[in-house]
Structure 1
Amino acid sequence: MKKIFLILIFSFAFQLNHCQETYAINGETLELKTEIDGKLDLLWNIIDGEYRYFVRTENDDIIELKNKSD
């Protein structure tokens, strides 16, 4: 019984770390995962087969990080 309880707690804790939130960015509604949480938050997801990364500032502004070499 203890093992099942520990597995459930571990599974629940893992789900909390990888939850997605919905954001409206430049007219798009995106579900992004938070990878790093701090003064600047790193958000990401795979959208249409491409990795997309975003930074959320302390003012809750969200800026997409783009590769200018493409």
Structure 2
Amino acid sequence: MNKEEGDLIIRVETASDVLGNGVFWEGPASRVNEIRNIPARKLAHLVATDGKPRASGMWRVSAMATHPSTDSE
């Protein structure tokens, strides 16, 4: 299944003993350029491309598919 960039919501989370755990940024794949942290932004671009979750250091990036609200009757 090929995922379009517009079909994904990207979530960037931190996992750090010092800074804590939490959501750093969340938004549509088309807006990952808004992420100011370079490692997080690069991971988000990769995840937006193929939808596979990635991690580097304290950064955890995943994708969630958006579900269009259409009736299939």
Which TM-score bucket, shorter chain as reference?
Answer: under 0.3
TM-score normalised per structure 1: 0.25
Higher relative contact order, chain-length normalized (CA < 8 Å, sep 6+): 2
Question: Would you tell me which structure has more strand in proportion to its own residues?
Answer: 1
The structure richer in helix per residue is 2
Larger Rg: 1
TM-score (norm 2): 0.24
